[in-house]
Structure 1
């Protein structure tokens, strides 16, 4: 349990650093932010190829092996990543020689970052088997969030040029690899036996590679579906536009932090209900968590929608931050819809229909890329990219909802959900059209504060979210001394 608590703390710390950097540091050089996002996008595309499903296969086949074979499997995973990384390097060399891409220079930073991420991914899975996830999470979530702002500050204060600063960003990832390697091998001694014939006498080589290919397709599909804008925007608009979009995406993604923890907490419960065919309790939990997540997401989104303009006016770089406002609002609403649909992805993943997720992601890739290209060519710029992501993600969630309803006759929505949506809509409109004062600080405090008070009281009085009433009753009882 201690590992889980520290895991959550380090995640929130990384997010907090990212938010502060997005508001105060990244707007000072949007083009450099665009370059950093482009490198991140390329490395994010390359490293799942290098892993080639080895990390997921390590988790899947590990429990069925004895200790000696487990070490063999780990060693095989390392060899696999190393060999595929060399093949990818050869492919990049050919591409650079024959393609006259103006951004080719950034591949020299993206490749070693991708190699670091690939090996760290395998090391993390091994540490997960050892029940030691907190420390590698500290390395992964904190170090890059420190290295990138440091690189920015070096450029902003003319201490280093952009290329030198990018080496600082790269050094952050290499440090993650170094520290994770040291931490793993201080707790785990796999030896150096690289004769794998005995390993594949224990597990089917065909099954291993089939599962690895499936995992690769899923990982690569997720990258193409959810992070393709990192690559599309620089190539079709500009690096500065990529920087603006990146700041908006970082701030919008903060909405989903509670959902990530909730999904992790309830995943074993969902899996257990599905395994036992307990669909009645699954439906209750499905609706219950969907209402809770929608409540949390709508509270946060209301505050963002009503207060982001005034908040940015209080920042030193308002003129640069203002272009991120529509991005935050559109992507934030997309996150809200994702939260409102509950753990539909988890229900599919832990059921016998898990392959549908891959099909849905592949459809999402085609839809997202085609919509991105259409909106950009139509002149909508990065706002069009945000709309493309919103439309694709909404249809993605609808497809999962329909699939779950068809297979399990389950939906996360009920009358309480509809009432809650109406409460947030009415309160949002009322507060939005209230008169502004001459002070952005007063506007920020009174509008977001009023929205919080109205929504929380209304949801509590109408008893629309079970957990909210439990928490509120406990808090009121504590304050009254009962």
Structure 2
């Protein structure tokens, strides 16, 4: 876990810096500058473009994740895998453009009644989808070479800083909302160019086609893998975005705006998982290639335990302060109906973290095809549950439906890996963390609310941090967490001395 710890600390630190910027954007600037309908529209412009890019890529961005170890040879320009992957993506984009225009009337019929503003940006999705598609490919290319830091900076920090500048421009009347919405494409284009320049600087921008790859013994398997992955990724993206898409269709962009704010609060919990995943992917991929089950088991259990600890601490800190958090948000009374969205989404994120890197293990193994069946099943569950719960319970129903999907998804993956690979993520440490978690939740719930909500927030946060964190360290639940804390304390001592 040495390289995982080092790079995870870097990427997690960068990601949390991005969260700070994201907090300023989503919980302060967005509610201050934009209406809830405009917030909902902004969320949809981005999430729909990512959804379209998932389909348009034909799974190209995932090919390096599994097959890079077979082509890795810098002296031979990695045997042309980068231009091959880009070519697959561009073929997919051309197909997407054709389908996009064929389905225009269907899309208009869905959103005309409750979200007509979205239709004003219909053609916006064409260039944005292409930019997201290429960004995904270059990010994947860097990550499989164990260079996740710059992609993380661009995605988590730079994009959000650009968004901050745009919001400030709206606040000071330099930008209209329409100009702000248009500028989002420019931000992502700049991010893409930075990735390309970074790859060139590292001297691994190998764009010369190597037609020998078309004769590779792995070609058929790569194309089959991409075919399965596109459906799997599309299903996963549907699961992640169906709530906001259906809320906009059923309840309008205002509900989507409230949901966006609440979802962001809960999404903080999964930041460590996103950082760890980028570092673990090449290690898990290599272990699957080598048939090293012991390494897979080690990564599975350690990531599960460490993610549960960090995720549990974040969930407790958020939920115990949820009313205070909404008081911090400008116009917070408008967005406070999202309280239970935070609970259900947060709980599902925590469960996702507790089940470890199951997606990375299955997705890079010989069983990757079965993952498609999981995704398709759960995409269907997500659509059905949203259809049931959104009309009855609105934004809370959307969150509950999403939570059901995530719980089912991870439970099925857990049972599959247990049955077919004889590995599971839990240990005695898991039980210890859960006991500490519920003890902390109980103690914090007994604290009487204070008149000054800032003082109340600080008090509850201190109780959660010292009770949960202290018991985890005292019982030495995780060697990795203990080492990280010790490293941080040593650095603080060095600074003070």
Normalising to structure 1: TM-score of the pair? 0.85
**C-alpha displacement at 1:367, in angstroms?**
0.7
Report the Cα distance in structure 2 between the residues aligned to 1:191 and 1:397, rounded to whole angstroms.
Answer: 38
Report the Cα distance in structure 1 between the residues aligned to 2:333 and 2:226, rounded to whole angstroms.
Answer: 47
Structure 2 residue aligned with 1:262: 276
Give the total of aligned pairs.
478
Q: Which has the larger radius of gyration?
A: 1
Spell out the pairing of 1:264-413 with structure 2 (5 A cutoff): 264-266=278-280, 286-377=300-391, 379-413=392-426
Structure 2 residue aligned with 1:24: 28
Report the Cα distance in structure 2 between the residues aligned to 1:421 and 1:72, rounded to whole angstroms.
Answer: 48
Report the Cα distance in structure 1 between the residues aligned to 2:368 and 2:222, rounded to whole angstroms.
Answer: 18
Report the Cα distance in structure 1 between the residues aligned to 2:108 and 2:334, rounded to whole angstroms.
Answer: 31
**C-alpha displacement at 1:440, in angstroms?**
0.7
Spell out the pairing of 1:52-91 with structure 2 (5 A cutoff): 52-58=58-64, 60=67, 63-64=70-71, 73-91=81-99
Gaps of 5+ in 2: 113-117
**Are positions 1:147 and 2:153 aligned together?**
no
**C-alpha displacement at 1:289, in angstroms?**
4.1
**C-alpha displacement at 1:394, in angstroms?**
0.8
Counterpart contact for 1:62–1:70, Cα < 8 Å: no
User: 125, 139, 151: which is aligned to 1:110?
Assistant: 125
Counterpart contact for 2:146–2:279, Cα < 8 Å: no
| Cα deviation digits, residues 299-323 of structure 1 (max 9, x gap) | 2211111112123324433213323
**C-alpha displacement at 1:269, in angstroms?**
5.9
**C-alpha displacement at 1:203, in angstroms?**
5.2
Report the Cα distance in structure 2 between the residues aligned to 1:360 and 1:134, rounded to whole angstroms.
Answer: 31
| Cα deviation digits, residues 201-249 of structure 1 (max 9, x gap) | 3456544432321232222222112222232221121111111111222
Report the Cα distance in structure 2 between the residues aligned to 1:420 and 1:471, rounded to whole angstroms.
Answer: 17
For the structure 1 residues 259 and 120, does the alpha-carbon distance in structure 2 shift closer, same or farther, using more than 3 Å as the test? Answer: closer
| Cα deviation digits, residues 400-420 of structure 1 (max 9, x gap) | 222222234444334543343
Counterpart contact for 1:69–1:199, Cα < 8 Å: no
SS of the aligned residue for 2:336 comes to helix
**Are positions 1:211 and 2:211 aligned together?**
no
Bigger mean CA offset, 394-403 vs 207-216? 207-216
Report the Cα distance in structure 1 between the residues aligned to 2:207 and 2:419, rounded to whole angstroms.
Answer: 50
Counterpart contact for 1:376–1:384, Cα < 8 Å: yes
SS of the aligned residue for 1:374 comes to helix
For the structure 1 residues 156 and 292, does the alpha-carbon distance in structure 2 shift closer, same or farther, using more than 3 Å as the test? Answer: same
Counterpart contact for 1:39–1:107, Cα < 8 Å: no
SS of the aligned residue for 1:227 comes to helix
SS of the aligned residue for 1:316 comes to coil
Report the Cα distance in structure 1 between the residues aligned to 2:328 and 2:197, rounded to whole angstroms.
Answer: 44
Report the Cα distance in structure 2 between the residues aligned to 1:180 and 1:353, rounded to whole angstroms.
Answer: 32
Structure 1 residue aligned with 2:115: none
User: 449, 458, 461: which is aligned to 1:436?
Assistant: 449
**C-alpha displacement at 1:37, in angstroms?**
1.2
Counterpart contact for 1:290–1:413, Cα < 8 Å: yes
**C-alpha displacement at 1:120, in angstroms?**
2.3
**Are positions 1:138 and 2:159 aligned together?**
no
Structure 1 residue aligned with 2:189: 174
Structure 2 residue aligned with 1:445: 458
Report the Cα distance in structure 1 between the residues aligned to 2:490 and 2:199, rounded to whole angstroms.
Answer: 47
**C-alpha displacement at 1:458, in angstroms?**
3.2
Bigger mean CA offset, 349-358 vs 180-189? 180-189
Bigger mean CA offset, 408-417 vs 447-456? 408-417
**Are positions 1:15 and 2:19 aligned together?**
yes
Counterpart contact for 1:147–1:172, Cα < 8 Å: yes
For the structure 1 residues 340 and 180, does the alpha-carbon distance in structure 2 shift closer, same or farther, using more than 3 Å as the test? Answer: closer
